Chain A
Amino acid sequence: MDLTVGPIAFFWSADQVRDFYRTLAETPVKRVVIGEWVCSKRLPFWQHEIPAAVEVLQAAGKQVALSTLTLVTLKRERRQTAELFASGLPVEIADLTALRHLPEGAPFWVAPTVNVYNEGTLEWLATRGAQRICLPPELPLASVARLARAGQQAGVAVEVWGHGRAPLAISGRCYHARLHDRAKDSCQFVCEEDPDGRTVETLEGQAFLTVNGVQTLSHSHMTVAGQIDELREAGVAALRLSPQPGDFAAVIGLYARLLDSGLAPDQALADLRRIQPGAVFAQGFLEARAGAAPCP
């Protein structure tokens, strides 16, 4: 098992993005997916950083793929999706729209926002050229194990959502804009104010969800720190770590120790709580319980 870092979900400044990928190049991750995953309106603000980031990461020996958007609706977004395939890099498809633009025989990766719930779908994607598939975060371990096995037979590396706020929903409506009494078309890029998303609490003050523009994330940080052995046994090829503000290199270091040095799960959780103070850690999905069920 190794580590993949997924695309940045939040609206970070170009400077933050540049620093993030420079730091990432020094970490023991095997591969990185880069690109605008959530809202095409944010892309012009940091797009120019992508070639340099790819270069820095590749120079450090990382595999790099470009991500599509999760929900493609506009003409401009369809064009951007098609253009990704001309880059020469693998494309990670986060919306099946991209299949329409896939050059014959071109290999691709599949993001956790594509519904791969069963062997039939996995095998169909493999036949089309899928090399890696990150499974949807809500899948229980029993399904993960069957899909990892099917992946091994079909020559597809299967990843699971390893760490970070899970993508729970995507909408045509921007909830960040709505919180400021604006519509998506006149959002004034207000999501930039919340580089870790904006917390949604219940009326009892219980932190519940995180609004990130048109995307809704879990408030809890999902972590598989307690299930490494089960995932290894199931044949999972990689863990997907989702970028967060703060000391993300420390998060990566911790997972590297879990995979390579036999760091104990209890110790890993204690370390995570030190690295991300105030974060709530959960992993109900793998256990076929409510995803929000907190880690012990």
Chain B
Amino acid sequence: MELVCPAGTPAALRAAVDAGAHTVYCGFADETNARNFPGLNFSREELADGVAYAQTRGAKVLVAINTFPRAGEQMLWHDAVRDAADLGAHAVILADLGLIAHAAEAHPGLRLHLSVQAAAANPDAINFYAQTFGIRRVVLPRVLSVEEITAINREIDVETEVFVFGGLCVMAEGRCSLSSYATGLSPNMNGVCSPASHVTYSDIGGNHEARLGDFLIHRTPKGMPVPYPTLCKGCFTSPDDKGNSQTGHIFEDPVSLDATRLIPALQKAGVSALKIEGRQRSRAYVAQVVRAFRAAVEAAEQGAPMPEGLLARLTEGQAATTGAYAKTWR
């Protein structure tokens, strides 16, 4: 199986390639990609250098252009697709219907991947994109069980790519406006979820508090770590009509996805590529995770058991989950 690894910077790209990534994905430093954070991503020159570095070492580069173009400003997204093609990207990862139609028409030779942001969650949706636009690979949303992925692969002719490690999106991606509701900035329009520009931390009484916009997302006693205030992983209260109320992580706990032990099952399910999330992570982190997963993928190909404890240092003190891959998660 192909290992698809994140690169938020040229240094992370080199680290990922050196650590054994088959493929690296990255984005331009603007609103055209869904990790539009300050100090991250690639200029055109950096992408050209990155492609050259990867290619001489046998690795491929994918360019994510996976936000939804703003009305009146589509040229910014069209230019990104053209430049990615010109600079030698192996494929572009797209989410917007109109942008996909544009790319298929204007760049017929360009390999198109369907971003997880398109939330194509069943064979009909995937076949629609494949037959209408010639999409070659789909990144599956993180709302599917392994069983469902197996069934999907039986009914489609394109490759599937699934997330195996990193942040866990519990809502159908590309269809979530929670951040926009709380802050005015959104994943779809601005490429940001729970944007750092709207995060505030404060000490009140004996507690640390973390807010997103006007909303309290976490409150932890002093001395305990306060998690980053990602909206759907916040601590909330829900009262019912009978005067009872529940307090806790109503949507999801502050956990990461780790599907290492499911790699053989995903291979059996017909998955072509495993994706690691984390373009916002340091190159040291990227190198460590990539090395661990390359070992796991090779073990899976040889039918050997999954190596255990490879990522202990990165997950220590933090909970991990296999998310929607286990049917009980729902």
Q: Is A72 an interface residue (CB 8 A)?
A: yes
A282 to B40 Cα, complex, angstroms? 34
Residues of B contacting A227 with CB < 8 Å? none
Give the segment of A9-17, A30-38, A194-202, A248-256 that binds chain B.
Answer: A194-202
Residues of A contacting B58 with CB < 8 Å? none
A45 to B280 Cα, complex, angstroms? 46
Residues of B contacting A169 with CB < 8 Å? 171-172, 175-178, 232
Q: Is A147 an interface residue (CB 8 A)?
A: yes
Residues of B contacting A99 with CB < 8 Å? 128, 132
Residues of B contacting A75 with CB < 8 Å? 151
**Contact flags B237-267 to A (C-beta < 8 A → 1, else 0):** 1111100001100110000000000000000
Residues of A contacting B101 with CB < 8 Å? 120, 124
Size range of the interface on B?
A: 35 or more
Q: Is A123 an interface residue (CB 8 A)?
A: yes
Residues of A contacting B177 with CB < 8 Å? 136-138, 166-169, 291
Q: Is B71 an interface residue (CB 8 A)?
A: yes
A183 to B327 Cα, complex, angstroms? 9
Does B181 lie within 8 Å of A166, measured CB to CB? yes
Q: Is B41 an interface residue (CB 8 A)?
A: no
Give the segment of B3-11, B83-91, B212-220, B301-309 that binds chain A.
Answer: B212-220
A250 to B121 Cα, complex, angstroms? 39
A-B interface pairs (CB < 8 A), number: 225
Given A168-B181, A200-B250, A120 and B74 contact (CB-CB distance below 8 Å): yes
Residues of B contacting A101 with CB < 8 Å? 124
Does A290 lie within 8 Å of B72, measured CB to CB? no
Instruction: Select one of B188, B214, B246, B324 contacting A115, CB under 8 A.
Output: B188
Give the segment of B47-55, B92-100, B158-166, B288-296 that binds chain A.
Answer: B92-100
B200–chain A nearest beta-carbon distance, Å: 14
Q: Which residue of B96, B97, B123, B236 has the most chain A CB atoms within 10 A of its CB atom?
A: B97
Given A124-B97, A193-B240, A100 and B171 contact (CB-CB distance below 8 Å): no
Instruction: Select one of B184, B186, B240, B324 contacting A173, CB under 8 A.
Output: B324
Residues of A contacting B170 with CB < 8 Å? 171, 173
Does B97 lie within 8 Å of A125, measured CB to CB? yes
Given A73-B144, A113-B175, A291-B180, A178 and B250 contact (CB-CB distance below 8 Å): yes
Q: Is A206 an interface residue (CB 8 A)?
A: yes
SS class, residues of chain A in contact with chain B: mixed
Q: Is A284 an interface residue (CB 8 A)?
A: yes
Does A216 lie within 8 Å of B171, measured CB to CB? yes
Q: Is A172 an interface residue (CB 8 A)?
A: yes
A289 to B213 Cα, complex, angstroms? 11
Does A199 lie within 8 Å of B330, measured CB to CB? no
B286–chain A nearest beta-carbon distance, Å: 28
Q: Which residue of A lies closest to B151 (CB)?
A: A75
A86 to B237 Cα, complex, angstroms? 44
A99 to B100 Cα, complex, angstroms? 15
Residues of A contacting B71 with CB < 8 Å? 117-119, 139, 142-143, 146-147, 150
Q: Which residue of A lies closest to B78 (CB)?
A: A120
**Contact flags A194-234 to B (C-beta < 8 A → 1, else 0):** 10001111111110110100001010000000000000000
Does B236 lie within 8 Å of A97, measured CB to CB? no
Does A120 lie within 8 Å of B102, measured CB to CB? yes
B27–chain A nearest beta-carbon distance, Å: 18
Q: Is A71 an interface residue (CB 8 A)?
A: yes
Residues of A contacting B12 with CB < 8 Å? none
Instruction: Select one of B70, B176, B330 contacting A118, CB under 8 A.
Output: B70
A179 to B242 Cα, complex, angstroms? 14
B201–chain A nearest beta-carbon distance, Å: 15
Given A201-B236, A203-B247, A121 and B98 contact (CB-CB distance below 8 Å): yes
Instruction: Select one of A179, A204, A290 contacting B181, CB under 8 A.
Output: A290
A280 to B232 Cα, complex, angstroms? 22
Q: Which residue of B lies closest to A77 (CB)?
A: B122
Q: Identify the A interface with B (CB < 8 A).
A: 70-75, 77-78, 81, 95-97, 99-101, 113, 115, 117-125, 136-139, 142-143, 146-147, 150, 166-175, 177-179, 183-185, 193-194, 198-206, 208-209, 211, 216, 218, 284-285, 288-293
| CB<8 Å pairs between A and B, sample of 23 | A73-B121, A75-B151, A77-B122, A78-B122, A96-B118, A97-B124, A113-B175, A115-B175, A117-B70, A119-B71, A120-B69, A150-B71, A168-B177, A177-B330, A185-B327, A202-B236, A204-B216, A206-B214, A208-B236, A209-B181, A216-B171, A290-B182, A292-B181
* 14 new A-B contacts at CB < 8 Å, known A168-B178, A171-B171, A290-B184: A73-B144, A117-B69, A119-B74, A120-B98, A124-B101, A137-B177, A138-B180, A168-B181, A169-B175, A172-B324, A174-B330, A204-B216, A209-B181, A291-B177
Q: Identify the B interface with A (CB < 8 A).
A: 68-74, 95-99, 101-102, 118-125, 127-128, 132, 141, 143-144, 148, 151, 170-172, 174-178, 180-184, 186, 188-189, 213-217, 219, 232, 234-241, 246-247, 250-251, 324, 327-330
The 5 closest A-B pairs by CB, nearest first: A120-B98, A172-B143, A121-B98, A117-B68, A146-B71
